[in-house]
Structure 1
Amino acid sequence: MSLRIGDIAPDFEAETSEGKISFHKWLGNSWGVLFSHPKDFTPICTTELGFMAGTKAEYDKRNAKILAVSVDSVADHKKWAQDIGETQGTAPNYPIIGDVDLKVAKLYNMLPAGASGDVSTRTPVDNQTVRNVFLISPEKKISLILIYPMSVGRNFNEILRVLDALQLTHDHKVGTPANWGVEGHSKDVAISTSVSTDDAKKMFPKGVKELKPYLRMTPDPR
């Protein structure tokens, strides 16, 4: 069965480049960023893992833990990490799951349940659908799923933007409009339709601008 936003993120135990983890326990009360890769020693993923390592402090500030999964062994991950550090300036400073039995890739519906074979003989094309990003809330719920093709590097600015938006809407009864968080666009947010206008005026002391009964804006309440 496919995973959807709002589903509980499947729990698992796995060997990683930083030791064995039990996913839900490891995540604790943090947000989680689980991003996947079809194979070690591939060019686009090399740049992605390096970029993520270089911006880890941004995720730390947001109480978000990073976890990568790649369809290869932990031993290969450690060798690849040296290449990533050498070519990208920062080696991975977060755990990378060794998914040699394809368990995590299949559990998260990135590979069909019947996928099998020795990972050392599986090519990146065999695993090309293992290119997802999952943002996971402290309640262990899937809050975002992004899927990228193998040839297109991920937009990590967008991942951070969505994480900011999710954390804002997690704590306040608002939603973020188009291009919220993008430089040059308004930082105002839309008040949830579940909140009456009278209640909104009490709840959002910075002001409520009613454009339509269902479209009421307020400055960022944080």
Structure 2
Amino acid sequence: MCLRLGDVFPNFAADAHPEPITSFHQWIGNSWAILFSHPADFTPVCTTELARVVQLSDEFTKRGVKLIALSIDSANSHARWAPDILHIAKYGFTNEDTQENQATPTVHRHTELPFPIIADYDRVLAEQLGMIDPDERNAEGIPLTARAVFVIGPDKRLKLMLLYPASIGRNFDEILRLTDALQLAAKAPVATPVDWKPGQDVMVVPTLTKEEADKRFADVCTIQVPSGQGYLRVTPHP
């Protein structure tokens, strides 16, 4: 299956920890959702990624975003893995019982994972959603699940897709920034420039006429460039 931006994301049912997903679309409801996949439980990069998502989960919740992970192991395996994830979310890469290297605990309120983990042990979803990494294989020579990120809107359509190889961890602070940009663009006819951060100026989309832009935004500045074309229109974060 070849997913494209704007496609309705496939609905599915799946086993998961802490409880099965009977309908993915029903689980999303009227929220935004982010599905992010992992090669396997009890692996180092995956553990650090999920730990970071635990730390950021309240920020995603503030934005009305539901989070859901995926790994090829069973729901029982996910349940056994969860304490490791929470430990790393709190203490990072140091041992809590080593006095000279005592970590400063990261403050978060979660004693259980604040998101479910899908158990894709038969790799059906990994295959269906194009998440197989042909270059990274396990000890049996089976291709690993890649590190995919799917951002899905309340309309159940795919808004953003990232695909990382199994060996490289993602930056979930960047995924949070992408979420802010997507939600802003969904509300106003603006685009976010390179390295944009929430609160910074944005660009008026080219499809908006000057009259429409002046009516929609109180302050629009057109940047003068050698071509003389007035396509670089900047406005404060609406």
Matched, 1:56 2:57: yes
Supply the distance in 2 between the matched residues of 1:199 and 1:218 (Cα, whole angstroms). Answer: 13
In structure 2, the CA distance between the partners of 1:213 and 1:23, relative to structure 1 (3 Å rule), is same
- Matching residue's letter, 1:151: S
SS in 1 for 2:20: strand
- Matching residue's letter, 2:72: V
In structure 2, the CA distance between the partners of 1:124 and 1:169, relative to structure 1 (3 Å rule), is farther
Matched, 1:43 2:59: no
Q: What does 1:61-210 align with in structure 2 at a 5 Å threshold?
A: 61-89=62-90, 92-111=113-132, 123=139, 126-181=142-197, 187-205=200-218, 207-210=219-222
Supply the distance in 2 between the matched residues of 1:155 and 1:190 (Cα, whole angstroms). Answer: 25
- Matching residue's letter, 2:152: I
- Kindly indicate whether the alpha-carbon contact (under 8 Å) linking 1:188 and 1:219 is maintained by their aligned counterparts in 2: yes
Supply the distance in 2 between the matched residues of 1:65 and 1:82 (Cα, whole angstroms). Answer: 21
SS in 1 for 2:30: coil
> Once the two structures are superposed, what CA deviation does each residue of 1:92-133 show, in whole Å capped at 9, x if it has no partner?
221000112212112211139xx9xxxxxx659734342101
Quote how far apart the aligned CAs of 1:151 are: 2.4
Quote how far apart the aligned CAs of 1:48 are: 0.7
In structure 2, the CA distance between the partners of 1:40 and 1:110, relative to structure 1 (3 Å rule), is same
In structure 2, the CA distance between the partners of 1:124 and 1:78, relative to structure 1 (3 Å rule), is farther
Supply the distance in 2 between the matched residues of 1:126 and 1:93 (Cα, whole angstroms). Answer: 30
- Kindly indicate whether the alpha-carbon contact (under 8 Å) linking 1:39 and 1:127 is maintained by their aligned counterparts in 2: no
TM-score, length of structure 1 as denominator length:
0.87
Supply the distance in 1 between the matched residues of 2:169 and 2:192 (Cα, whole angstroms). Answer: 25
SS in 2 for 1:19: coil
Matched, 1:213 2:230: yes
Aligned length: 209
Match of 2:34 in 1: 33
SS in 2 for 1:161: helix
Match of 1:119 in 2: none
Aligned structure 1 segments of 4 or more residues deviating by more than 4 angstroms? 122-125
In structure 2, the CA distance between the partners of 1:123 and 1:24, relative to structure 1 (3 Å rule), is farther
Quote how far apart the aligned CAs of 1:136 are: 0.9
Supply the distance in 2 between the matched residues of 1:175 and 1:102 (Cα, whole angstroms). Answer: 36
Sequence identity (%):
44
Bigger Rg over Cα = 2
Supply the distance in 1 between the matched residues of 2:118 and 2:29 (Cα, whole angstroms). Answer: 18
Deviates more, 1:191-200 or 1:89-98: 89-98
Quote how far apart the aligned CAs of 1:147 are: 1.5
| Gaps in structure 1 of 5+ consecutive residues | 116-121
Supply the distance in 2 between the matched residues of 1:11 and 1:196 (Cα, whole angstroms). Answer: 38
Q: What does 1:14-33 align with in structure 2 at a 5 Å threshold?
A: 14-21=14-21, 22-33=23-34
Match of 2:105 in 1: none
Deviates more, 1:36-45 or 1:85-94: 85-94
